[in-house]
Amino acid sequence: MRIVLLLFSILISIESYAQSVVDKDYESLQIKAIYDEVLTNGQCYKWLEYLCEFAGPRLSGSPSAAAAVEYTRQILDTLGLDSVWLQPCVVPHWVRGEKEQARIVNSKMIGTQELRVVALGNSIGTGPNGVTAEVVEVKSIEELQNMSDADVKGKIVFYNRPMDVTLPNTFHAYGRAVDQRGAGPVEAAKKGAVAAIVRSMTTGLDDVPHTGATRVDPDGHNIPSVAVSTNDAEILSRVLRNETVSVHIRTTCKMLAPVTSYNVIGQIKGSERPDEIILIGGHLDAWDLGQGAHDDGAGCVQSMEVLRALKATDYKPRRTIRCVLFMNEENGLAGATTYARISNERGEFHLAAIESDAGGFIPRGFTCSAIQGLQEQYLKSIASWWDVMAGNDLYLQPGGSGADINALKSQGGILFGLRPDTQRYFDYHHTADDRIEMVNARELKMGAAAMTSLVYMLDKFIERVN
Amino acid sequence: MRIVLLLFSILISIESYAQSVVDKDYESLQIKAIYDEVLTNGQCYKWLEYLCEFAGPRLSGSPSAAAAVEYTRQILDTLGLDSVWLQPCVVPHWVRGEKEQARIVNSKMIGTQELRVVALGNSIGTGPNGVTAEVVEVKSIEELQNMSDADVKGKIVFYNRPMDVTLPNTFHAYGRAVDQRGAGPVEAAKKGAVAAIVRSMTTGLDDVPHTGATRVDPDGHNIPSVAVSTNDAEILSRVLRNETVSVHIRTTCKMLAPVTSYNVIGQIKGSERPDEIILIGGHLDAWDLGQGAHDDGAGCVQSMEVLRALKATDYKPRRTIRCVLFMNEENGLAGATTYARISNERGEFHLAAIESDAGGFIPRGFTCSAIQGLQEQYLKSIASWWDVMAGNDLYLQPGGSGADINALKSQGGILFGLRPDTQRYFDYHHTADDRIEMVNARELKMGAAAMTSLVYMLDKFIERVN
């Protein structure tokens, strides 16, 4: 009870302090004006429709990515911002090649059986003749590493640990399974495997394979790697429980020479402290199988909408509000790395950065983080007015932000990740189904309104902590 | 500050009381077991697939409704319950007839223009020759009533007040607009109108008309009534701002003789207090345009899943847990009325009832209500353990429950409505798009798990209040 009372007295003091600087009734009205603007006149869904349907798949280095850069730059140009520019960055240029093939070739149980697969991003191809080899199934990298090299050499390693469907937050399940895709193939190569098959990263059982990046080993332990649909992973696993089988895989994907691409940036210059930047962003590149509607067209158009909504509600920010559409989050982070390097070289200070890269679903809240020693102080300040945000049903929790902004943490500001509901994300993530039809316009706008509200409150009420 | 401290001391006393009866760590584990069961082995989505694709549209009195009764009864029969039965009820039998037609016939601006319309449920038809009349647009019933009868007589009244998109909860927007559909046509008839066109109840702008029930006037003020898609409502309104136009409407819908149908009921008998009933339910009937996937196939299969999950987790309820799939919620409430009448005649007591009838989307919480004088006491008891539910991100707020269970409130128990996120509901509601493809399996299961958890906690910890 003592602890509870102590906590309560802290809350009271925060509350009293807060009332002296934040007029919550007034701020709630301003936030209502932002929501009204975005829900009534929001352009983000229309922009996303265009981005998806006309620019289409936009993997780094592709013509579609170049089209997406130009389209979003032009849209930012129409918003009456203080400046819009392209920031060059050199990106990897991986291409998928012909449609991938895979089949079980000699099962006594089921004969020849096609498997629905897609090459993993950055993977080398098998070449036109493909590879055919016996399959060994493992549930984890650790299990593989406990096997003798002789049991792996010359074989295809099949990683088949499912995402844990009992975790309510599907990102937690993803986090516990995705090492199979990211690190699994290189580890298999080190033990002499000739190819890798990875169970698709999804909570569902369906026929759609999910791509995604796999690690490239600078020492050359790289093998052709594919993701298999969860239904076909189940079939393959069932066969392997009863007999030894081989699988034939054919992929012609390859890494071409690097290409110059761009981060797309637009900003409203701060009226009082232009050197303090509040960034909102997402990543413009997307996997080539679908349209990158949720991942991460949504985050891009929401970030653009923040600037539009601030202008439309006649808000003159004290700090510089900068929208950054990062290139190459999916298979290299070249845009993020370039942006952070140049920002540091220029001595910029990002007071806050907000990334939306978890789909255009109904927002549930934000996670946030700052470097050790600062986080608590930022959180105390934000807690004094978070109830204004919570009026729109948004939580605040310590946690990660986003891959594109993470490097900015060292500047000493605070980073946020928009957290939409997670139930549907891995139905579409990195697949042919990540299309505009799967995005709900109101959900997308609610996310943009939440981001705009947070930018507004941060601009008005947060101070740099040292 | 005084008020805050007072509130705090109340919270402390609730907390202390609660700790004496609810071992929250233990209960959290039980709730986790329920979620694990539903997310891993849940059958509700498969049942819904079958209900949607094989039984199909199931408006009261239709052969599909009879098929749905039989299908769900058979599923309940497989669950190892203590009893499963059909409860007869006499339902209205309205049929849509041929595909509806409507068009602007004499616009100088745009010539002849087809309008996408559907007849409103319970409406009379125009007959095969249709009606053609000048259109008068109003934004509200009040505006209509302020007009002279001469300005309305012989005309088609067009109700065109949009749902308010700025309300974050779309049900609030629906509640403020739906009087146009429910009461608008009869009010127009009373002033001599020959037909009514109602703007579809949706937050979106699209081409899909939304049906729904309109009131039948026992004194005969009934006119042919249709809903028009929001896009076409905008077109019609734009034309009417510039010129006087007539619209031709042809509908052949009609009310046939009433039919005997059924509520489908299954229950697990309570081990300690079998005479105290905890009900979970939804409604089995659905509009004929789509598949009734969200409205309210979702609520039916979730309610069935509650019983399955309780059995699968080996929980032996103290109270009787009863699943009721009500017939005829959409256009008459005959099932609900019959159920409540018979329950009262038998002197039954529903300690609690939970309805799911707001779509199979991600659950956000529950609203609850009891008769005056009891609500506060129930809420105090529930507040003592709600943090166990809140661990799954579920709120509890005073508010309505559901049309099918509302009449049970007079028995003195407490009623709950499952509250899923509302953003997408009115994209599909009462349209051809309310199909299984629009339901996400995990979201549906999360709702079923939330309901099962609430049933479990109520069964263990709530006591009748007098």
Q: By the 8 A CB rule, do B217 and B186 touch?
A: yes
Q: Which long-range contacts (CB under 8 A, 24 or more apart) does B164-170 make?
A: B165/A39, B165/A40, B165/A442, B165/B203, B166/A35, B166/A36, B166/A39, B166/A40, B168/A35, B168/A392, B168/A393, B168/A446, B169/B422, B170/A442, B170/B203, B170/B422, B170/B423, B170/B425, B170/B426
Residues of B in contact with A443 (CB under 8 A): 423-424
**Candidate from A393, A424, A442 with C-beta closest to B440:** A424
Top CATH class of A102-252 equals alpha beta
Beta-carbon-side half-sphere exposure of residue B412 (alpha carbons within 13 Å): 9
Q: Which residues of B touch A440 (CB under 8 A)?
A: 423-424, 427
Q: What is the pLDDT of residue B55?
A: 87
Mention every residue, 6+ apart, whose C-beta is less than 8 A from residue A62.
A93, A95, A288
Whether B427 and A421 lie within 8 Å, measured CB to CB? no
Selected residue of B424, B437, B445 to mutate for chain A interface (largest A Cβ count, 10 A): B424
- What CA–CA distance (Å, rounded) separates A31 from A454? 9
CB contacts of A203 in chain B (<8 Å) are 442
- Under an 8 A CB cutoff, do B166 and A36 touch? yes
Scanning the structure block, which residue is given the tokens 């529950």?
Answer: B366
Q: Are B301 and B244 in contact (CB under 8 A)?
A: no
The topology (CATH level 3) of B99-252 is: Glucose Oxidase; domain 1 (3.50.30)
B81: distance to nearest CA of chain A, Å?
A: 26
Q: Is A39 at the interface with chain B, CB within 8 A?
A: yes
Using CA atoms, how far apart are residues B139 and B137, in angstroms rounded to an integer? 7
Note whether B35 contacts A364, CB cutoff 8 Å.
no
* E strand map for B269-357: 273-283, 319-326, 349-355
Q: How far apart are alpha carbons B332 and B89 in whole angstroms?
A: 11
pLDDT < 50 regions, chain B: 1-16, 18-19
User: Is some CB atom of chain B closer than 8 A to the CB atom of A362?
Assistant: yes
Which residue in the set B168, B204, B440 is minimally distant from A441, CB to CB? B204
Residue A53 CB neighbours (<10 A):
12
* pTM, two decimal places: 0.93
* Distance in angstroms (rounded) separating the CA atoms of residues B38 and B302: 10
Q: What is the pLDDT of residue B106?
A: 86
- Residue A371 near residue A412, CB atoms below 8 Å: yes
The minimal CB distance from B421 to the residues A166, A170, A421 is found for A421
Integer Cα distance of B60 and B88 in angstroms:
13
Beta-bridge mates of residue A279: A322, A353
Neighbours of A406 (CB within 10 A): 18
CA-to-CA dists, residue A290 to A58, A60, A229, B281, angstroms? 9, 14, 15, 39
Q: From chain A, pick out residues whose CB is under 8 angstroms from the CB of B204.
A: 441-442
What is the domain partition of chain B in residue ranges?
Answer: 20-94+257-461, 99-252
Residues of chain A with pLDDT under 70: 1-20
Question: Residue B405: which of B324, B348, B287, B307 has the closest Cα?
Answer: B324
Residues of A in contact with B421 (CB under 8 A): 362, 421
Tens digit of pLDDT for each residue in A376-430? 999 999 999 999 999 889 999 999 999 999 999 999 999 999 999 999 999 999 9
Given an 8 Å threshold on Cβ–Cβ distance, is A170 in contact with B442? yes
Identity at A272, one-letter amino acid code: E
| Residue B86: partners with Cβ closer than 8 Å, 6 or more residues away | B69, B73, B262, B263, B264, B265
Place of tokens 């929790």: A397
Q: Domain spanning A21-94+258-461 has what CATH number? A: 3.40.630.10
Is there a contact between A243 and A130 (Cβ–Cβ < 8 Å)? Answer: no
Q: What is the residue whose two structure tokens read 């579609």?
A: A64
pLDDT at A20: 53
Answer yes or no: do A166 and B39 touch at CB < 8 A: yes
User: What are the tokens at A127?
Assistant: 């070449």
Q: B298-312 and B441-461 are packed helices; what angle lies between their axes, rounded to 10 degrees? A: 60
* Residues paired with residue B101 on neighbouring β-strands, in sequence order: B250
For strands B363-369 and B414-420, give the pairing. antiparallel
* Sheet order of strands, B195-199 included: B111-114, B101-107, B246-250, B131-138, B156-159, B195-199, B225-228, B117-119
The distance in angstroms from the start CA to the end CA of chain A is 34
Q: What string of DSSP letters covers B408-451?
A: GGGGT-EEEEEEE--TTHHHHTTSTT-SGGG--HHHHHHHHHHH
User: Residue B20: what pLDDT?
Assistant: 53
State whether residue B92 is helix, strand or coil. Answer: strand
CA B422 to chain centre: 12
Q: Identify the CATH homologous superfamily for domain B20-94+257-461.
A: Zn peptidases (3.40.630.10)
> Does residue A329 carry a catalytic annotation?
yes
Q: Is A101 on the interface with B (CB under 8 A)?
A: no
ipTM confidence score: 0.91
* A103: Cα within 13 Å, side-chain hemisphere: 8
Which pLDDT score is estimated for B148?
A: 97
* Chain B nearest CA to A112, separation (Å): 29
- Tell whether B85 lies on the interface with A, counting CB pairs under 8 A: no
Question: Minimal CA–CA distance to B302: which of B3, B22, B75?
Answer: B75
Strand A349-355, strand A273-283: pairing: parallel
Report pLDDT for A4. 34
Q: How many CB atoms lie within 10 A of CB B84?
A: 19
